[in-house]
């Protein structure tokens, strides 16, 4: 069986790219396709050949990949994948549009619907100049929505990382999706049964992460809070924070691992479609205090692995923090839950069952 792996673009390293990296490792003989590839800025694919589209030949396209948005669909449609028996796409936008042999199967790991098309205002509000070009952009996006909806019918099967994303795929594209929570490499996280006297928030400092809520809550409580990460909101957040809050900026992977293991709790105030940070915290034996909506509803067990707060307000978070402080956490149980449910082994056990059923096979494709 000949397998092709397809990703939107390999120009950055985020959650979607980490999942694609796992797929590439799991299918070492598969051919890799993407629209744009910048090996210095994305996942490590070793010596694997990465096939790209005509966009790769445009100077600066990999650096300014978001500006290429109107051209991705024709770029993926131009790829010839008719020789493959199985196509596995990893997509938040465009890779699902690839063409295939009618007898082949196309399974799409859909990390989300095309957010900038279907939730434009939320997605683009981080870009200050958006409002100046909004009328022109909206005209382009109206056309692109029709194209996106049409090409969303190409995959034979969708896999979503959370129940939230599965509902969006059903509502927007009219396609059912199987939910398989994405994994983490549990071996990269260390367990610490003894916790130190600090709480941790680890996130890019952008508005939707709602770090402002966390800062205000800890200003009021006076408890020690560490915040790792950088972003455009940092200066504003620092100006509001009292002396019990420390901004760490960028931390190394080894530093991050230790911070996760020794924190009393990891705080997550954003509405995330899935969210790897809560799972990573649990893999470190650390409970999570999170806004109770979105992906955490799939990954957290209240009172066992974390505590939810109901509203994105400092007062609601404060109540959850006080509640969590009274719980006698079983840190080993938290770690065991993460390993059992969110390890790569657990993930691929589910994936292979789905792939085998979709392809009507009795043996593994690996």
Tokens representing residue 89 in the block: 């796409």
> Residues 297-317: pLDDT tens digits?
999 999 999 999 999 999 999
Q: What is the mean pLDDT of residues 349-358?
A: 90
pLDDT over 60 (residue 272): yes
Tokens representing residue 349 in the block: 């056990």
pLDDT at res. 323: 98
> What burial letters (b/e) apply to 40-62, b meaning 16+ CB within 10 Å?
eebbebeeeebebbebbeeeebb
pLDDT at res. 71: 95
* DSSP tag of 249: E
Q: Using pLDDT thresholds of 50, 70 and 90, give the confidence band for residue 361.
A: low
Mean pLDDT of the chain: 92
pLDDT at res. 59: 94
Q: What is the mean pLDDT of residues 237-256?
A: 96
Prediction pTM value: 0.81
pLDDT at res. 13: 83
Q: Using pLDDT thresholds of 50, 70 and 90, give the confidence band for residue 116.
A: confident
> Residues 37-81: pLDDT tens digits?
999 999 999 999 999 999 999 999 998 888 898 999 999 999 999
Burial class, 299, CB count within 10 angstroms (exposed 0-12 / middle 13-18 / buried 19+) = buried
pLDDT over 70 (residue 128): no
pLDDT over 80 (residue 132): no
pLDDT over 50 (residue 205): yes
> Residues 92-105: pLDDT tens digits?
999 999 999 999 99
Q: Using pLDDT thresholds of 50, 70 and 90, give the confidence band for residue 124.
A: low
- What span, in angstroms and rounded, lies between the C-alpha atoms of 293 and 318? 17
Q: Using pLDDT thresholds of 50, 70 and 90, give the confidence band for residue 137.
A: confident
Q: DSSP readout, 163-214?
A: HHHHHHIIIII---EEE-PPP--GGGS---SSPPS-EEEE---SGGG-HHHH
Radius of gyration of the chain (CA): 21
Q: Using pLDDT thresholds of 50, 70 and 90, give the confidence band for residue 364.
A: very low
pLDDT at res. 126: 57
pLDDT > 70 in the chain, percent: 95
Distance, first Cα to last Cα, the chain: 10
> What Å distances lie between residue 72 and 66, 106, 359, CA to CA?
10, 18, 28
Q: DSSP readout, 43-111?
A: ---TT--EE--GGGGSTTTTTTGGGGGGGHHHHHHT---TT-SEEEEEESSSGGG----TTSEEEEEES
Q: What is the mean pLDDT of residues 113-122?
A: 84
* DSSP tag of 10: B
pLDDT at res. 185: 85
> What Å distances lie between residue 36 and 57, 59, 152, 201, CA to CA?
9, 11, 21, 32
pLDDT at res. 138: 86
pLDDT over 80 (residue 362): no
pLDDT at res. 208: 84
Burial class, 278, CB count within 10 angstroms (exposed 0-12 / middle 13-18 / buried 19+) = buried
pLDDT over 70 (residue 241): yes
When comparing pLDDT for 13 and 342, which is higher? 342
Cα 24 to its chain centre, rounded Å, is 17
Q: Using pLDDT thresholds of 50, 70 and 90, give the confidence band for residue 366.
A: very low
> Residues 13-39: pLDDT tens digits?
877 898 899 999 999 999 999 999 999
pLDDT at res. 131: 66
């Amino acid at each position: 069986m000949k397998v092709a792996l397809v990703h939107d673009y390999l120009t950055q390293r985020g959650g979607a790219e980490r999942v694609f990296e796992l797929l590439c490792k799991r299918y070492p003989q598969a051919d890799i396709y993407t629209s744009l590839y910048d090996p210095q800025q994305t996942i490590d694919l070793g010596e694997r050949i990465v096939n790209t589209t005509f966009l790769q030949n445009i100077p600066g396209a990999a650096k300014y990949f978001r500006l290429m948005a109107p051209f991705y669909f024709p770029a993926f449609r131009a790829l010839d994948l008719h020789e493959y028996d199985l196509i596995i796409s990893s997509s938040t936008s465009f890779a699902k549009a690839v063409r295939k042999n009618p007898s082949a199967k196309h399974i799409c790991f859909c990390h989300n619907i095309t957010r900038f098309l279907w939730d434009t205002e939320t997605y683009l509000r981080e870009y200050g100049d958006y409002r100046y070009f909004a009328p022109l952009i909206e005209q382009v996006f109206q056309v692109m929505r029709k194209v996106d909806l049409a090409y969303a019918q190409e995959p034979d099967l969708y896999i979503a990382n959370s129940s939230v994303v599965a509902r969006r795929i059903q509502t927007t594209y009219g396609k059912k999706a199987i939910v398989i929570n994405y994994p983490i490499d549990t071996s990269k996280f260390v367990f610490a049964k003894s916790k130190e006297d600090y709480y941790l928030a680890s996130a890019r400092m952008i508005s939707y992460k709602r770090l402002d809520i966390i800062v205000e809550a800890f200003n009021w409580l006076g408890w020690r809070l560490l915040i790792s990460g950088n972003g455009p909101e940092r200066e504003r957040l620092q100006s509001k924070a009292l002396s019990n809050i420390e901004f760490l900026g960028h931390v190394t992977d080894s530093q991050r691992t230790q911070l996760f293991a020794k924190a009393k709790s990891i705080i997550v105030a954003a509405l995330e479609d899935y969210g790897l940070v809560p799972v990573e915290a649990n893999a470190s034996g650390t409970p999570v205090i999170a806004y109770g909506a979105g992906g955490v509803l799939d990954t957290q067990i209240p009172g066992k692995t974390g505590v939810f707060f109901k509203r994105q307000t400092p007062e609601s978070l404060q109540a959850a923090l006080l509640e969590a402080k009274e719980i006698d956490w079983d840190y080993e149980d938290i770690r065991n839950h993460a390993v059992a449910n969110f390890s790569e082994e657990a993930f691929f056990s589910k994936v292979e069952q789905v792939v085998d059923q979709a392809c009507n096979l009795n043996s593994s494709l690996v």
